[in-house]
């Protein structure tokens, strides 16, 4: 009976399969096989050892390992006993000179490598969909908000480009960290390779070549745990970036705003209120991001192990590494669903832009007045007073400027109208959006192996 929602509710089957018990055992067996081949190739193990082992080693089942571990209390010794049962004398040179974490840590690297390919693929897919939305709504003018208050005009494309920038930075982080984290370890009991009597570097090179990995340059009995902490941190950052977008949609989906909305067709919003349409997918993004951020502490705590190693990291990693990847997998799938179904309401965007009756253009007016000879202090005070009075009267800033008359000693009516035009105060948004898209496209291209 499953009690963990990651078994049945969250994450794709392909990601769950990577961290399933059967695949974890298989990756460990792949490492043992690679070591067997290396030992034979360099002349430590007899010829034919690898081929004999290859014919039988994959007959080992997780339940065979579990049965031994229940008795012995040691996973890798249990694995070796299960291999001996399956292979008999063909297993005589298995694990020769190695220690448990040569197998465990290298298997983690193989698993993480496969998981990261899924994460990168899905992250790139989301960035591409978001770029399509940027292109579609690049010039749709809307109000920008700071402190949840109306600030200056922006465009929806510009808003979305900021999210593309953040997500692309995470893709860049993943690609960079992969070089440090996805590395193998074949160095023996305390990392000196003593068990191979001076031929350890040959063994390491042959094993890593077979598995398609680079080795850690030096280790204790285990690889440095800072790499796992870095990877969990990067995934938590990515989840938090996605959550920020989810919060944006949730905020802009409020009925009194309704500029953006989730597009889930046929979803039930409430068990008792038939009219409700809730941003449930975006709220799920927030919930899962919170859990993923919670894995940061144990991943950091795993770094300071005693001497050449202790076992305090092991139980935590069995939970935090698979769960981190399954959670980010669900986050990325949910984001993709939200993006593909995203509803945009241009008429509401236009309505809300005009809601403040032009007072968001007070900065534009201030700068124009400075250009005409007022000090910044004078221009700020005049623009602020006009905006405040317009707001209190419930009239347009333009009308208050005409009523007051002071500005008209510096600007013509037509110049005032142009100064308060939203379209004229968007700065270099097009260039900023274009260079962000180019950056994203360059990173996406370079991140694919």
- The answer to the question of residue 444 being in a domain is no
Same domain, 329 and 390: no
What CATH number does residue 412 fall under? 1.10.40.30
Whether 125 maps to a domain, the answer reads: yes
Q: How many domains does the chain have?
A: 2
**Identified catalytic residue from 176, 270, 388, 412:** 270
**Does the annotation mark 271 as catalytic?**
no
Model pTM?
A: 0.94
pLDDT tens track of the chain, all 449 residues?
788 888 889 999 999 999 999 999 999 999 999 999 999 999 999 999 999 999 999 999 999 999 999 999 999 999 999 999 999 998 999 999 999 999 999 999 999 999 999 999 999 999 999 999 999 999 999 999 999 999 999 999 999 999 999 999 999 999 999 999 999 999 999 999 999 999 999 999 999 999 999 999 999 999 999 999 999 999 999 999 999 999 999 999 999 999 999 986 556 565 455 566 789 999 999 999 999 999 999 999 999 999 999 999 999 999 999 999 999 999 999 999 999 999 999 999 999 999 999 999 999 999 999 999 999 999 999 999 999 999 999 999 999 999 999 999 999 999 999 999 999 999 999 999 999 999 999 999 998 76
Q: Which residue range is the domain that position 400 belongs to?
A: 356-424
- The reply to whether 12 falls in a domain is yes
Residues 284, 165 share a domain: yes
Is 67 found in the same domain as 35? yes
The H or E element containing residue 102 is helix 100-136
What single string gives the DSSP state of each residue in 363-398? HHHHHHHHHTT--HHHHHHHHHHHHHHHHHHT--HH
User: Which domain-ending residue is among 350, 368, 398?
Assistant: 350
Q: Are residues 300 and 242 in the same domain?
A: yes
How many angstroms separate the CA atoms of 153 and 132, rounded? Answer: 22
What pLDDT was estimated at residue 306? 96
Last residue of a domain, one of 350, 367, 392: 350
Tell whether 435 is covered by a domain.
Answer: no
Spatial CA neighbour of 225 closest among 324, 152, 132, 301: 301
Angle of CA points 105, 107, 109, to nearest 5° = 75
Picking from 320, 350, 380, the residue at the C-terminal end of a domain is 350
In this structure, are 326 and 381 located in the same domain? Answer: no
pLDDT value of position 448: 75
Selecting among 2, 36, 100, 147, the annotated active-site residue is: 147
Write down how long the chain is.
449
311 and 412 housed in the same domain: no
In a domain, 67, yes or no: yes
Is residue 449 a part of any domain in this protein?
no
Q: Is residue 141 part of a domain?
A: no
125 and 266 belong to one structural domain: yes
Does 128 share its domain with 252? yes
Domain identity same for 93 and 183: yes
Same domain, residue pair 271 and 370: no
- Helix intervals (H) in 182-225: 200-211
What is the predicted pLDDT for the residue at 449?
A: 60
72 shares its domain with 212: yes
| Whole-number pLDDT of residue 406 | 96
Task: Note the pLDDT of residue 87.
Answer: 96
Amino acid 268: pLDDT: 58
Residue 429 domain-assigned (yes or no)? no
Q: Distance between CA atoms of 21 and 78, rounded to whole angstroms?
A: 14
- Classify 310 as helix, strand or coil: coil
| Whether residue 380 is found in the same domain as residue 404 | yes
CATH number, domain containing residue 175: 1.20.200.10
Catalytic annotation present for 275? no
**Among 341, 205, 350, 353, residue whose Cα is nearest residue 280:** 341
């Amino acid at each position: 009976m499953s009690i963990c929602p990651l078994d049945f509710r969250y994450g794709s089957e392909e990601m769950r399969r990577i961290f399933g018990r059967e695949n974890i055992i298989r990756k460990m067996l792949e490492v043992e096989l690679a070591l067997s081949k290396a030992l034979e190739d360099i002349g430590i193990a007899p010829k034919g050892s690898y081929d004999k082992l290859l014919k039988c080693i994959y007959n080992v089942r997780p339940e065979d390992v579990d049965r031994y571990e229940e008795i012995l209390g040691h996973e890798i010794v249990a694995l070796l006993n299960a291999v001996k049962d399956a292979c008999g004398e063909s297993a005589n040179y298995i694990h020769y000179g190695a220690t448990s974490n040569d197998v465990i840590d290298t298997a983690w690297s193989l698993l993480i490598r496969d998981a990261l390919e899924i994460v990168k693929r899905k992250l790139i897919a989301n960035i591409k969909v978001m770029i399509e939305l940027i292109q579609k709504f690049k010039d749709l003018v809307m109000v920008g908000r700071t402190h949840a208050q109306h600030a200056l005009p922006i465009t929806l494309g510009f808003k979305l480009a900021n999210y593309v920038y953040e997500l692309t930075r995470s893709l860049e982080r993943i690609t960079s960290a992969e070089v440090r984290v996805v590395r193998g370890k074949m160095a023996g009991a305390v990392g000196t390779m003593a068990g191979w009597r001076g031929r350890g570097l040959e063994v390491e090179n042959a094993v890593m070549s077979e598995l398609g990995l680079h080795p850690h340059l030096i280790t204790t009995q285990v690889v440095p745990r800072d790499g796992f902490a870095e990877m969990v941190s990067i995934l938590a950052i990515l989840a938090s970036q996605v959550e920020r977008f989810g919060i944006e949609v949730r905020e802009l989906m409020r009925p009194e705003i309704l500029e953006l909305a989730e597009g889930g067709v046929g979803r039930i919003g409430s068990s008792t209120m038939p009219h409700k349409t809730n941003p449930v997918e975006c709220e799920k993004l927030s919930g899962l991001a919170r859990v993923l951020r919670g894995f940061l502490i144990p991943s950091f705590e795993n770094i300071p192990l005693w001497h050449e190693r202790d076992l305090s990291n092991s139980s935590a990693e069995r939970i935090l590494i698979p769960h981190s990847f399954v959670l980010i997998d669900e986050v990325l799938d949910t984001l993709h669903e939200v993006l593909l179904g995203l509803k945009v309401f241009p008429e509401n965007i236009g309505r809300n832009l005009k809601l403040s009756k032009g007072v968001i253009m007070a900065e534009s007016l201030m700068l124009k007045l400075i250009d005409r000879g007022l000090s910044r202090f004078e221009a700020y005070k005049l623009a602020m007073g006009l905006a405040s009075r317009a707001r209190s009267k419930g009239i347009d800033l333009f009308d208050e400027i005409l009523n007051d008359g002071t500005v008209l000693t510096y600007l013509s009516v037509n110049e005032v109208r142009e100064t308060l035009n939203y379209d004229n105060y968007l700065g270099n948004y097009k260039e900023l959006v274009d260079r962000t898209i180019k950056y994203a496209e360059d990173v996406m291209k370079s991140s694919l192996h």
